[in-house]
Structure 1
């Protein structure tokens, strides 16, 4: 995504509007020119690439647009790596040890560096050159990394990614977000809810599949201490939302959080499914946590007829909805759904267990981590109308299978 200093937006009637680049010949030519600069610098240092990009900027007033396009290419389409036969830290240690014995080393003297390269090469069993010593001393600095590979997007794709990134940046400093999703397929709802869980967003969901869902998400500036990481997680939700058919949202922002001088107490940003933005996310299988991914991997190795599936139907809850993490089926027709409850804050757990009491599902299993301090939640698991399995550390298939076979 774009850094805060690369974001561009305007204000009108209390509405924040991020800059968008249309696919005009001029913008397409600019995107193509920046892509070509990256292609020409494969195998060269980052500093050479940066110099070429600075030359492109010149004294133009749209430098932030050019830097934004280059930032996307640099972070999402490029691989930068140090290239040196000897790790820079190890090389510096040896050079400094030699300098301590023989005095200051003139790094501009090829003869001196070649002698040093020969000595260090003998110590480590490598053939080194003066240039490798000169360049390798600080090869771990980012500007000395080499552009080792570049996957060039087409100009239209780059402009699409720039536009989405500008919109994402609005959520860095959002106070809250109200999202309405309606007339979507069950698969799309599941896709959206999975990403809400994946990014660890604090949400309150109301509604049902027939009438639609209203989702309220607390933003980073609503927290006691504004969290940059949480703001990024909120911004990551937008590309997932763009893969859903019908929705609209309104984000509330504090003027000060955007460094905007405004007479308004709050600003807003509205968006809907007709916005024209395009997602770069693929609709593939995702796991909500490393805990779930580890469990699924272990299940594949377990010797059992029970089949573990990631795609699970929504479970209706009065006024809301629940998405279990897994479905477990047996060839004889038996079927269960599994919800893994790892480590969460007490406030979240209270709402979670209140939700579980309302679920009308006899074949629901919950796996509860022993890391949870259930005393703080005031929850008595004996009251829950579901099957419970406890686990320490990571969830093991054996514990779930033993419960299934009872």
Structure 2
């Protein structure tokens, strides 16, 4: 993402409008120029790259755009490494210790490097040149790190990432976001909720699968103390949201007037027609080998029951549970199947808490015998579900017997 000083936006009344680049010939030329710069500096130091970037900026009025594109390339598509025969700190100790034995140092500089080169070549069982020692002495300084890998995006992809980053930056100063996720494929919801949990965001959920969900998120400025870390995590939520088909959001923003220092409130709105492109990968088809194996074995059964993947959601107070499968019969009967095969205690506690609060009467719970439920503090009493125990693989026939 972009730092605050590279964000560009304008304000119309209380509405904040981030700057977005049109993907036209002019913008593509700017992106291509930056990509070529990084490709030409592959194998060179970060210092050399930074000087080249400054030359490209020059006195151009587009310097903020160029700097923003360059920032994204540097932080998302490049790998910088310390290249040295030894850890630079250890190499300096060895070099200075060798230097102390041979006086005067300036006159014997080449001899010192030759001696150390011979020692290190024998110790490391590979050739270490004096020039390698010179380059490695301060290789841990930021400007001396080497650009060892660069995965160039297409100019269009870089511009899309830039536009996304400009919008993400809006959320750095959000006090609250109200997200309306309209009726969608449940698997899309699951991916969104997974990212909300991954980024440790605070949220409250209301609604149901038929009408959609309203998700209220606390922004970084709503905390007792504004947190840069939480602000970044909050902004990272947006690319995950782009995987959802139908949604809209309204964000309340807090900024300070640059002249008076007084707090100013702003508004920002966005929906699924925004044209932004996510770079987050789509969700996996299955969460575990147990689920995948069960689905493949079910296909071989001769039964009228149809197995559907993540097509239902169970509303809970302030949250939601997305079962693994739904089983549907042509006569209208349906059951929900949830597989509990993960062992971590906090996961088990949350899962059984959800099951007990689900308030549904058509739930089948498949539980692995390998789980240490007692250690997690879980008792298999008052479970509002039909329970199937399994060892390594869940048997479709066992589920069919319950049906």
Q: Is the Cα–Cα contact under 8 Å of residues 207 and 321 in structure 1 kept in the other structure? A: no
Q: Residues 199-348 of structure 1 correspond to what in structure 2 (within 5 A)?
A: 199-256=199-256, 265-285=264-284, 296=288, 312-317=310-315, 322-324=320-322, 326=324, 336-338=337-339
Bigger-Rg structure (1/2) = 2
Q: Find the aligned partners of 1:128 and 1:41 in 2 and give their Cα distance.
A: 24
User: Runs of 5+ in structure 1 lacking a partner?
Assistant: 288-292, 390-396
- Shift in CA distance, 352/299, structure 1 to aligned 2, threshold 3 Å: closer
Q: Find the aligned partners of 2:209 and 2:9 in 1 and give their Cα distance.
A: 35
Q: Find the aligned partners of 1:246 and 1:233 in 2 and give their Cα distance.
A: 22
Q: Write out per-residue CA displacement over residues 98-128 of structure 1, whole angstroms, 9 at most, x where no aligned residue.
A: 1343357449954543344234434544432
Q: Which moved more, 1:2-11 or 1:238-247?
A: 2-11
Q: Find the aligned partners of 1:369 and 1:64 in 2 and give their Cα distance.
A: 56
- 1:78 aligns with 78
Deviation at 1:282, TM superposition (A): 2.3
Q: Find the aligned partners of 1:165 and 1:108 in 2 and give their Cα distance.
A: 53
Q: Write out per-residue CA displacement over residues 1-20 of structure 1, whole angstroms, 9 at most, x where no aligned residue.
A: 22233222222212222221
Q: Is the Cα–Cα contact under 8 Å of residues 309 and 326 in structure 2 kept in the other structure? A: no
- Shift in CA distance, 53/107, structure 1 to aligned 2, threshold 3 Å: farther
Count of matched residue pairs: 377
- Secondary structure of the residue aligned to 2:17 is strand
Q: Find the aligned partners of 1:253 and 1:371 in 2 and give their Cα distance.
A: 45
User: Runs of 5+ in structure 2 lacking a partner?
Assistant: 300-306, 328-333
- Shift in CA distance, 84/334, structure 1 to aligned 2, threshold 3 Å: same
Q: Is the Cα–Cα contact under 8 Å of residues 249 and 271 in structure 1 kept in the other structure? A: yes
- Shift in CA distance, 114/277, structure 1 to aligned 2, threshold 3 Å: same
**TM-score, structure 2 as length reference:** 0.77
Deviation at 1:55, TM superposition (A): 0.5
Q: Find the aligned partners of 1:328 and 1:198 in 2 and give their Cα distance.
A: 26
Q: Is the Cα–Cα contact under 8 Å of residues 92 and 137 in structure 1 kept in the other structure? A: yes
Q: Find the aligned partners of 1:368 and 1:226 in 2 and give their Cα distance.
A: 40
Q: Find the aligned partners of 2:258 and 2:80 in 1 and give their Cα distance.
A: 33
Q: Write out per-residue CA displacement over residues 245-278 of structure 1, whole angstroms, 9 at most, x where no aligned residue.
A: 221111112214x978676642222111111211
